[in-house]
Amino acid sequence: MLEIMVRHHVPGFRLDVDFQAPSGVTALFGKSGAGKTTLVRAVAGLVRAKHARVLVNGVTLEDSAQGLRVPPYRRRIGYVFQDGRLFPHMTVRQNLAYGQRAVGRGDLPMQPVVTLLGIAHLLDRRPADLSGGEAQRVALGRALMSAPRLLLMDEPLAALDRARKNEILPYLDRICRETGVPILYVTHSLTEIARLASTVAVIDAGKIQRVGPVAEVLSDPDLAPNLGVQDAGAVLNARVVAHHTDGLSELQVSGGTLWLPRVQADVGRDLRVRVAARDVIVARDRPSRISALNILPAQVRQVRQGTGPGVILQLSTGDDLLLARLTRRSATALELRPGCNVFAVIKSVSVAPADVSVDDEALSASKPDLPE
């Protein structure tokens, strides 16, 4: 369990947050300038807030009301930055060993971390000889070698191109599942949240707008302006049913069946799929003789009208929630209101590789030009 309260003021900006989150991966999401980095630096003890309370799994790291403040070097927090910040004069092995020495734990075995991150072949290289993705894996390893009680990741993929992000995401998946270390993950990417996080905290102008399970928060139409209307979308829980010879995978969701470009996950495995609101078409009657394969029966839960011509719908399909973005004119013509039954038409090509999270394997690349 994370318990974080930070009140901090600098000229032109005030940070005032107070929230709790269960252990696991808590994604801190917000636009640039929302206060994400200031908050995690305060958690790490690098910013001395006027009022703060930080507890990690019952261990108090700071409580200004009681005059308690553990210094940064004793908090046992692993901090991973955007650029890795490896020591250029050290080899990978030496960078990893520095994580041990930083906490006086030279007895910690290095091999489990090396195996977890797949960096055995990099141990004798120096940072200048690493790709961006390799450098970030080493930075993750150095943080893990400090035996952290908490990992802080401040947009660790922001400096990487799409190919390098897809390379490192499976390793982040494994860290989340296999280490048991709670993670506070700063990002402005909904794709990373959908893939990695169990909880999301939305921050805006220094205040927490909402904290909750990923599926609930991402499917809340009232948060669409905070999340970004263009990128808003929901997460569906799915199970792999079969892989077919035409290159498509059959997935079972609570509301029906989804067909996706083949994913590298065994039959029977659970995964999460993110569906963008802009890629959901709403019909009052079940469409026929169309190319789209993914048609789910749904019911309108909420209709949120913005100041412009657009409308965001929240739809329930089985036990899951979807978002759909359409024009106000279409919503009026279809007489869409809470309680009415509809069909959600989802293009299979709208699901990108990084938008699908599996338990223990990276996904194969999905081609955007596959049949709908």
Asked if the model's pLDDT at residue 105 lies above 90, the reply is no
Q: Which residues pair with 273 in a beta bridge?
A: 236, 356
Q: CB under 8 Å to 269, separation ≥6 — which residues?
A: 239, 240, 358, 359
What is the reported pLDDT for 348? 62
Query: Could you say which DSSP state residue 129 is in?
Result: G
pLDDT at 354: 56
Give me the percent of the chain exceeding a pLDDT of 70: 91
Where is the domain boundary, 166, 191, 218?
218
Q: Which of 193, 218, 243 is the last residue of a domain?
A: 218
Q: Residue 107: its pLDDT value, please? A: 56
| Residues 48 and 135 both lie in one domain | yes
Q: What average pLDDT score do residues 107-122 get?
A: 84
Task: Provide the token pair at 146.
Answer: 């400090």
Those residues whose C-beta lies under 8 Å from the C-beta of residue 216, and which sit 6 or more positions away, are: 321
Segment (H or E) for 115 = helix 111-117
The residues that bridge with 155 in the sheet, in sequence order, are none
Sign of CA dihedral 187, 190, 192, 194: positive
Q: Looking at the structure, do residues 251 and 181 belong to the same domain, yes or no?
A: no
Residue 371 lies inside a defined structural domain of this protein: no
155 in a structural domain: yes
Q: Say if residue 109 is in the same domain as residue 253.
A: no
Let me know if residue 364 belongs to a domain.
no
Domain hosting 126: range is 2-218
Q: What is the pLDDT of residues 278-292, one digit of tens each?
A: 899 999 999 999 988
pLDDT number for residue 350: 57
Residue-wise pLDDT tens digits, 246-286: 999 999 999 999 999 888 888 998 888 889 898 999 999 99
Q: Do 134 and 238 fall within a single domain?
A: no
Residue 353's pLDDT band (cuts 50, 70, 90): low
pTM of the predicted model as reported, rounded to 2 decimal places: 0.82
Same domain, 173 and 259: no
Q: Which tens digit of pLDDT belongs to each residue from 45-83?
A: 999 988 999 999 989 999 999 999 999 888 889 888 877
Q: What residues have CB less than 8 Å from 228, skipping those under 6 apart?
A: 31, 190
> What proportions of the chain, in percent to the nearest 5, are helix, strand and coil?
30, 35, 35
260 and 166 within one domain: no
> How many separate domains does the chain show?
2
When pLDDT is averaged across residues 148-174 and rounded to a whole number, the result is: 82
| Predicted local distance difference test score (pLDDT) of residue 361 | 37
**Whether 168 and 248 share a structural domain:** no
Residues 129, 103, single domain; the answer is yes
Domain of 95: which CATH number? 3.40.50.300
Which pLDDT score, from 0 to 100, does residue 349 have?
Answer: 58
Q: Do 214 and 237 have their domain in common?
A: no
Mean predicted confidence (pLDDT) in 231-237: 86
Does residue 224 lie within any of the structural domains?
no
C-beta neighbour count of 302 within 10 angstroms:
17
Q: Report the CATH number that the domain containing residue 297 is assigned in CATH.
A: 2.40.50.100
What mean pLDDT value characterizes the chain? 85
| Domain end residue (candidates: 218, 251, 278) | 218
Same domain, 251 and 312: yes
List the strands of the sheet with 248-253, edge to edge.
256-261, 248-253, 233-243, 270-276, 356-358
Asked whether residue 99 falls in the same domain as residue 209, the answer is yes
HSE-up of residue 108 (Cα within 13 Å, Cβ side): 23
- Please check the confidence at residue 297 and state whether its pLDDT lies above 80: yes
Average pLDDT of the segment spanning 183-206: 88
- Domain for residue 227, yes or no? no
At residue 241 the predicted structure's pLDDT band, cuts being 50, 70 and 90, is very high
Confidence band, pLDDT 50/70/90 cuts, at residue 170: confident
Residue 363 pLDDT grade (very low, low, confident, very high; cuts 50, 70, 90): very low
Do 187 and 278 have their domain in common?
no
